[in-house]
Amino acid sequence: MPLVTTNFAFLLQAIAWPLALLIAWFLGEWLLERWNIPRVTSYVAVGLVGSLINLPGLTTDITGLPFLANVALALVLFELGYRINLRWFRHNPWVLVLGVVESLVTFGFVYWVSGWFSLPIEHRLIIAALSISASPAGVLRVANELRSTGQATERVLHLCAINCLFSVLALKIVVGYWTLSTSGDLVLAAFGSVHVVGTSIAVGALLGVVVPWLLRLRNTHERGVTVVFALAVLLLTTAAYGLMLSPLLAALTFGIVARERRVHLTSAQRDFGTAGDLLSAFLFVYIASLLTWVDVRTTFVLGAVLILARTFTKVLCNVAAARLSGISERKGALTGLALTPMSAFAILLIEQTRLMGFDPAVQVLATMAGMMLLQELLGPIVTQRSLMAARETHVTRE
């Protein structure tokens, strides 16, 4: 009997991930068709249930899963970067100004609000830095699912990219400050921050120049372009891991530079096809499985307050700058609400920071568990409803 039990446990551990992904996919399709719930919300729900029941093989540390999750998010960040039009910032600089001001205001306001809960200064700084970001995986997947295009959608995507950039910069500054305060080594602190940011951007930009050049030499067809870009993102993520850089920042830069080099991806190639769909499901299930329910229960109130503070600043800034940047206050408010998701990017960013030796990262992830739970489940729904209210969606029943 013990042998049978052991074999069953081994089997359950072996099939945990394929089973979870299969359930997540079917649940996502069913809820989307029945109640118009975004697929990513269903994926998150499956990961949360797996974490709740402590499903063997799903909630244990498995070598390679963090890397695979970073590849999945790097593909999304590349696509987000590819949809960024730098010339738009020249024609409408208020969008760029809005992104910078909103990032700074969000950081300051969340840092101030987090002081109500007697958190250490390092934790407050990290939470504020992460709160700047908006999840490109959540925002872009929902926008593609709705086939959303228009003024508000493009603004959301551009602000999401700016938010992610500033979140990485802010977190690296916090890490540098912590390194300086603990070791007193100014060179080490500067190297850990400036080097990671600068080199990540440089590597991404270099690949953004080289890959389009190679594609032009070969005259690659559209499907081949998608494969080449996917392989280049995989190469970039692997190199970033080996050099202790930020694969997320490098992938975003890669996409922006590739767009400027005039190599085009068609609408049908968005999300990187079937492989992208599979990696997306894995990413959201994996991210949700990292949350511990004990931490969620103890930090639920803190999470709700921080979400309200973060959402307030994003909506307020977008409404205040709406007329200056060329849209109505209503669309400004919807743009701010559409930036609600943040969990996937924030969790992987803090995980990368932990792997680089930043000790407070583990405690911060536990502190933000309640916030992450609410953001992961509700964030994509808020984005979906905001884009639908902006009347920029083009979904048709097949």
DSSP character string of 172-219: HHHHHHHHHHHH--HHHHHIIIIIHHHHHHHHHHHHHHHHHHHHHHHT
Task: Look at the alpha carbons of 390, 392, 142, 70 in this order and tell me if their dihedral is positive or negative.
Answer: negative
Other Cβ atoms within 10 Å of 120 Cβ, number: 12
Q: Find the CATH number of the domain harbouring 98.
A: 1.20.1530.20
Residue 321 lies in a domain: yes
Residue 268, pLDDT score:
43
396: helix, strand or coil = coil
Do the Cβ atoms of 138 and 379 come closer than 8 Å?
yes
Domain that holds residue 349: 22-53+67-389
Chain center to CA of 268: 22
In the chain, which ranges are continuous DSSP H helix? 2-35, 39-52, 65-82, 86-91, 93-114, 121-132, 136-145, 151-183, 186-190, 196-218, 222-243, 247-260, 273-289, 293-298, 300-320, 322-325, 329-338, 343-355, 360-367, 369-389
How far, in Å, CA of 147 to CA of 392, rounded? 8
Residue 245, pLDDT score:
83
Residue 329 lies in a domain: yes
How far, in Å, CA of 373 to CA of 386, rounded? 20
Residue 56, pLDDT score:
57
Residue 96, pLDDT score:
92
Residue 4 lies in a domain: no
Residue 3 lies in a domain: no
Residue 3, pLDDT score:
47
Residue 220, pLDDT score:
64
pTM for the complete prediction? 0.90
- Over its length of 398 residues, how does the chain's per-residue pLDDT go in tens digits? 454 455 555 566 667 788 889 999 999 999 988 898 999 999 999 988 887 776 655 656 677 788 888 899 999 999 998 888 888 888 888 999 999 999 999 999 999 999 999 888 888 999 999 999 998 888 999 998 888 888 889 999 999 999 999 998 888 888 777 766 766 665 555 666 677 788 888 999 999 888 888 877 776 666 677 888 889 999 999 988 888 888 888 999 999 998 887 655 554 456 677 788 888 899 999 888 888 888 888 888 999 999 999 999 999 999 999 998 888 999 999 999 999 988 788 888 887 777 766 677 778 888 888 888 888 889 999 999 999 998 888 654 43
Residue 282 lies in a domain: yes
How far, in Å, CA of 176 to CA of 393, rounded? 42
**Helix (H) / strand (E) containing 63:** none
Residue 2 lies in a domain: no
From the list 46, 273, 226, 38, the residue with the least C-alpha distance to 145 is 38
Per the structure, the count of domains in the chain is: 1
Residue 382, pLDDT score:
93
Residue 336 burial by Cβ neighbours in a 10 Å radius (0-12, 13-18, 19+): buried
Residue 334, pLDDT score:
93
Residue 335 lies in a domain: yes
Residue 191, pLDDT score:
61
